[in-house]
Chain A
Amino acid sequence: MSGDPILSVRDLHVRFALASGEVHAVRGVDLDVQAGETVAIVGESGSGKSQTAMAAMGLLASNGKAAGRILYRGEDLLKLGPRRLDRIRGDRITMIFQEPMTSLDPLYRIGRQIAEPMIHHRGLGARAARARAIELLRLVRMPHPERRIDAYPHELSGGQRQRVMIAMALANDPDILIADEPTTALDVTIQAQILELLKDLQARLGMAIVFITHDLGIVRRFADRVCVMRAGEVVETGRVEPIFADPKAAYTKMLLAAEPTGRKNPVPPGAPILLEARNLAVSFHIPAGWFGRSAFELKAVDRVTLALRQGQTIGIVGESGSGKSTLGRALLRLMESEGTIRFEGRDLRSIDLRRNPEIRRELQIVFQDPYGSLSPRLTVGQIVTEGLLVHEPGLSRAERDRRAIAALEEVRLDPAMRDRYPHEFSGGQRQRIAIARTMILKPRVVVLDEPTSALDRSVQKEIVDLLRELQRVHDLSYLFISHDLAVVRALADDVIVMRNGRVVEHGPADDIFEHPRDGYTRALLSAAFGGWAGGEEPEMRSDVSTAMDL
């Protein structure tokens, strides 16, 4: 591909004026996009990758200012008046966003929203625009386009809404489509479908795609060229293959190395079974609604059986709504359930854990959201030692403090920070605090509920390494709940694949990753590790199953 770039960014700076001072979010970015190619901008949160795109589209927040040049076919978008800019955006350059749930106007039918840019830019009549909208919905493989065109956004699943956004973006045959993390909020199998759709549409329609993402896996499979950003600057840019094969910048090397690697050492045979569940089931009673909905039972977890040995890690894999988190909570008796749960042979369902704190302290949990799981008005020291107040009430204040220091050191945090409050820490640091709070009790079984999902890749790797080391040192048993197969592969001995509350496959990690038997497992794996590129489309229709948001 050669010739003049269709879009070229020169020395772009974006600054935001905040009460606390100025934030220089983009610092001198240069970028070229040729007609018809796919350029990925990759970086972690705060790298300025989204703001670069927002500046091009004139969508910066009101306190943001862009300087430099963004040339589209020789015209500087930053210098265009609003009317001239409005003639280009939505017509020649279009954009899809990360949040499919909120990017569409909830008050209007999707047909109208798809038609709006056509009516406005192309002067189409309402009837013609509607016909074209149906055609576009068919193009993005929306089931039943003639009926769905009259749906409201809330009646569609996340994946379907993203399809609507894509239909809107394609309506006027744009030259450039900017996709800002378009699959991040979606389940992996749907992610794969959306990516494949974009690739296919690009092949048919020939527009350039600027793909903004934090996911290197997507970049490798999807992009022609890549531009790695960090702290507002371009660190490295070039064709995808050479950069992945031989990264020059240290940061790129670190990013590439951040994919979790390694395998867990197997558990010695004959290790005792600590936690055991038989036919565990959790159902929610959904009461009859005021407005005519009749009552029904929702089986969140449906007859799950598992056994966790000392020092073992069982990975529980599944998409949102599969019941994996509910299973974790039910196992720790944080939630009512049916079936049997045994801890060291004792029936947990017949024991009141509030009366038996010595059992409670052995069964602990780490949550997904490092921002929500720390009480905002307590200091880190208070948070970490809260469990000690319950389980060792006799400890002196000084002794508690000593334990807090030890626990923080164990998770590699500076103990001098224990008088600070959670909001002063980064996501990775907070997750370490949450882990310290758990580990101070010296538990034996820890449920890890998506502990790395909310973190950047490079931070994820550090947390995974920390968890591994803690397991080795304390001979812990983990129940590792995640939708991220790469992380599960690096951590788990056994894997359970769940879907709609049921176990679809269960076995040693290597077996499941190498020779998946179930169709759903295969779909998950191919979505995650890229078997789909060029291959057949995964057979499952997960869009339908997740349409029910519960």
Chain B
Amino acid sequence: MLRYVLRRMGSAVPTLFIIITVSFFLMRIAPGGPFNLERPLEAKVMENLNRIYNLDKPLWQQYLLYLRNLARGDLGPSFVYRDFSVGDLFANGLPVSIQIGAAALLLALLVGTALGAFAALRQNSPLDYLVVGVATFGITIPPFVVAPILSLVFGVMLGWLPAGGWGNGALANKVLPVITLALPQIAIVARLIRGATIEALRSDHVRTARAYGLPTRVVVVVHALRAAVLPVVSYLGPAAAALLTGSIVVETIFGIPGIGRYFVQAALNRDYTLVMGTVVVVSIFVVLFNLLVDLLYAVLDPRVRYD
């Protein structure tokens, strides 16, 4: 087991390396630079800035420099948020994104599993159709439509919750963003659980459990649902990584100081280090959660063995 984990960690290094390399050079061949503002700077100032940030060195030197700093855990200074290093920005933003994302993930798992399981147990009943309909709706309507509508209805019209803003992390400010983030995930989890449960209920081993007079509760929970959770587990890896690293849409619309909102702005402003930092952080999350999910899968399914 430990050997497997170490090997997987090891194989993640080349992946991360490729990601960093591709993003670095892709970004640099693009026209423009961080200091090409609308009002051009004086040549002398420009030169100074470029020297301070090592932008005057050959590209390959900058690349090696970046790799070396990265190996030391230094993501470099932000070009646009001049008073902050990229590390500072993430230190402030990441906890916020993780809070919102984790809450949404938890909500999605609880509600999605419950809805999916109930729909499967009452297959082709009105409840089932309702869940399937709502799930399709949840998958179809993008968050950038849901977010403003929720904000309008609950924030402006009803006035129950703040329409936006962070409010220093007040609970009321988190409700709408979490729901917006969770809705599509609820829909996907419910669909996955429903499909897998229906399949599990039809399986031979559930027939065996029923033939042996086990109570419905035991048949469903012990023998059907555990098998039905497996596809959700494999879906969770990428989903968790995406949720925890912040949503561009939700953070922009609700004005939440997470890390999701940085990326587009940073790319538009050619804030090289901030773009790279985001790519690195997100990639690490993806790799990490894929590994976690594989391990969890092995715990749940004895047929999978890593050593």
| A interface residue numbers (CB < 8 A to B) | 57-59, 62, 82, 85-91, 94-95, 97, 99, 102-108, 116-117, 120-121, 152, 154, 165, 168, 291-292
Contacts and interface: CB of A to CB of B under 8 A. Distances in A.
Interface string B209-239: 1111111101000110011000000000000
B47 interface: no
A412 B250 CA distance: 69
B17 interface: no
B300 A107 contact: yes
A117 B209 CA distance: 9
A243 B223 CA distance: 43
B204 A154 contact: no
Contacts of B213: 85-91, 117, 120-121
Given A86-B213, A90-B213, A120-B218, 13 more contacts: A89-B210, A90-B214, A91-B213, A95-B211, A103-B207, A104-B208, A105-B206, A105-B223, A117-B213, A120-B214, A120-B215, A152-B303, A291-B4
A238 to B, nearest CB: 29
A86 B211 contact: no
A105 B305 contact: no
B202 to A, nearest CB: 8
A106 B205 contact: yes
Contact of B211 (A57, A102, A108, A292): A57
A175 to B, nearest CB: 14
Interface of A is mostly: loop
Given A120-B213, A120-B215, A103 B303 contact: no
Given A291-B306, A291-B307, A103 B215 contact: no
Contacts of A59: 207, 210-211
B211 A89 contact: yes
A117 B214 contact: yes
6 contacts: A59-B210, A90-B213, A97-B207, A106-B227, A116-B212, A168-B208
Interface in B272-307: 300-303, 305-307
B203 interface: yes
Contacts of A57: 211
Given A59-B207, A102-B205, A292-B307, A107 B212 contact: no
Given A107-B227, A154-B302, A291-B307, A117 B212 contact: yes
A62 B306 CA distance: 39
Contact of B226 (A58, A107, A292): A107
Contact of A107 (B204, B214, B301): B301
Contacts of A121: 213
Nearest to A151: B302
Contacts of A86: 213-215
B2 to A, nearest CB: 12
Interface in B119-154: 123
Contacts of A95: 211
Contacts of A120: 212-215, 218
Nearest to B213: A90
Nearest to A154: B303
Nearest to B300: A107
B209 A105 contact: yes
A62 B300 CA distance: 29
Nearest to B124: A62
Given A82-B216, A154-B302, A291-B4, A99 B211 contact: no
